[in-house]
Chains A and B, each alone.
Chain A
Amino acid sequence: MTAPTLVQSAAVAAPPTTGARPSRRRRRGSTAGLVLRTAVAAIAAAVVFFPLYWMLVVAFSPRGEAFEPGLRLWPSALTLDNFARAFERYPVGEWFVNSVVIGAFITVVTVTLNLMAGYAFARIAFPGRNVLFLVALATLMIPVQAIMVAQFRVVTGLQIYGTYWSVILPGAATAFGIFLARQFILAIPQELVEAARIDGAGHVRVFLRIVLPLSRPLIAVLTLLTLLGSWNDFAWPLIALKDNALFTLPIGLLYMKGQTTPDYSGIMALALLSVLPMVVLFLVFQRYFVQGFARSGIR
């Protein structure tokens, strides 16, 4: 990180040029520049938002309207038929419940275990700590496609294939939160822990009484990211869930697309329902999401 100081000293060493003229030119230029930049930003945002807008349009348009000839960028009439039809023909309510139950279990288990592991790696000295931490880190990026055949056999061997557990347990076997938790807990002043230890508190008590109450932002970030990950997870639930009634929303969407004449209007209605909870969470807790993404690099 020597670059900034180098640039700075070079800039400082340079003789000051005439002040007034360039700065006035800059100010006049900056009004036009501001308009231009705002326009470009608005276009970029519109382009990024357009697919989501189109999902809304198709979900609320009469069935099949989007695939009729003739260019039409908004619905001819607003309707909830697509939602009603999806609920009528498919166990959409059950899929929703499955996503919520599986997401809740994975989140509670994962966040609890990751906090405990993060504390151990940050604050307890034990032999093999660094090796174990590196092993955990090394597993961070392994995609399920690399091990799905064997993982499928483990799940069938444990006789949990086709149950909630076949998604929950492998889903909770992740190290991504450990890394964040360790970093955060390391930043908690050592004196606080030390003082409690001198008073005779064991690690369990320090963890519960001192570290956890100070870790609320960490817990928020871990909860949101874990929930998001499990809500959107696709490849593994696709393998582990065989029974239509146990599908999560992404698997349900794929199932709808797999019909002989896929009902794309109904699919968009369900897609909208499936993304809505995460979009709302994101808008409310944007700060935590951004922090979490930026620090963990997940996604």
Chain B
Amino acid sequence: MTAVPLRRPSSRGGRRPARSRDALAGYGFLAPNLLLMAVFLFVPIAWAIQLSFQETRGFGTPEWVGFDNYARMAADPVFWQSLGNTVLFTAVTVPLELLGGLGLAVLLNSVLPARGVFRTIIVLPLVISGVASGMIAVILFYESNGLINKLLAAVGLSPIGWQSDGASAMVSVMVAAVWLRIGFNMMIYVAGLQSVSPDLYEAARIDGATAFQQFRSVTVPLVGPSTFFLLIMNVIASFQVFDLIFVMTGGGPGYSTSVLGTYAYRNGFQIREQGYGAALGVVILVVTLVFTYVQWRTSRTRDLVE
């Protein structure tokens, strides 16, 4: 799958014109895409790196300040808090998405009435926008007389300060994020499970393996490639979380749900510290490229497996 079948000319002689015509056609087919990507991806990437070494508030000529923005970042407690929140958010949501997705996949891969309906419902949040999900979550988690607090009161618990208490606010965005992504995890795991031969379970049963032993010794190892793929995808998605947090908490209360994405936006467009905002963007960019590289290495092996 990785080896690109480059068509080699069968004979060396007399193919030059065809080859250069091929080259022309190749670049021609790519040109519009490359042009758009150059203008709206590559130029902004280069410009972002340049801006990260400048001081600019959106007006006037930017000033070169060397590594000042990065030095400022290192000394900025809100940056470290946002980074910490991003890591915490990722560390909590990703395992929940993986475990929940695998559990649901195993459940909905077994023989069940209305299995298709259950699957469809659980996958449905995939097509709901982050903004609409965030709005629904705002209403559910509303502190004064929101449904969740009313349900808590109904079972005799005290209401939770989803908007006023930092830790609770973080929990609310984590819950919304898991809701939004668990169906994707289930879907990938279902595809992975369908390639597992039923004979393996039959064999394990004959050996006297309990359901849990079958799960641990047959299912978990065999969905390993799916798990790795999902791990990387979930980590990237969680690391880049923006819509949900922006809509639900705006990074607050204080900075207790501020993440790298929202903090970069705040600097770039709310308080107009654009050089600093660009530097924060460069950090996100570097982290993303590292994850993408890991994903690329693993997807090569995944392709080989398939």
Knowing A37-B107, A67-B142, A149-B278 touch, does A125 contact B51 (C-beta < 8 A)? no
**Do B281 and A1 have beta carbons less than 8 Å apart?**
no
**B77 at interface by CB-CB < 8 Å:** no
Contact across chains for A178 and B33 when beta carbons are under 8 A apart: yes
- Whole-angstrom CA separation of A147 from B110 in the bound complex: 45
**A278 interfacial by beta-carbon distance below 8 Å:** yes
Interface size class on chain B is 35 or more
B174 at the interface (CB under 8 A from A): no
B-contacting residues, A95-117, CB 8 Å:
113-114, 116-117
Flag if A149 contacts B104 (CB, 8 Å).
Answer: no
In the complex, per-residue mask of B275-306: 1 if CB is within 8 Å of any chain A CB, else 0 = 00110011011001101110110000000010
The distance from the CB of A109 to the nearest CB of chain B, in whole angstroms, is: 8
Chain B 120-137 interface mask (CB, 8 Å, partner A; 1/0): 111111111111110111
**Could you mark each residue 100-141 of chain A with 1 if its beta carbon is under 8 Å from any beta carbon of chain B, else 0?**
000000000000011011011100111101101100111111
Let me know if B145 is at the binding interface, CB within 8 A.
yes
For A48, the closest partner residue in chain B by CB is B122
Interface size class of A (residues with CB under 8 A): 35 or more
Question: What number of residue pairs across chains A and B have CB atoms under 8 A from each other?
Answer: 327
Q: Return chain B residues, CB-CB under 8 Å to A174.
A: 37
Give the dominant DSSP class at A's interface: helix
Q: Evaluate whether A142 and B146 lie within 8 angstroms (CB atoms) in the complex, with A38-B113, A268-B139 already known.
A: no
Please give 14 more A-B residue pairs, beta carbons under 8 A apart, in addition to A145-B240, A289-B127. A14-B207, A17-B208, A45-B121, A116-B29, A126-B27, A137-B292, A150-B51, A153-B44, A154-B40, A235-B243, A235-B246, A257-B138, A279-B127, A299-B237
21 contacts between A and B (CB under 8 A): A8-B200, A14-B203, A17-B207, A49-B124, A113-B32, A121-B4, A124-B29, A129-B26, A139-B37, A142-B288, A143-B284, A145-B260, A146-B281, A153-B44, A203-B25, A232-B131, A234-B130, A250-B129, A275-B128, A286-B123, A289-B126
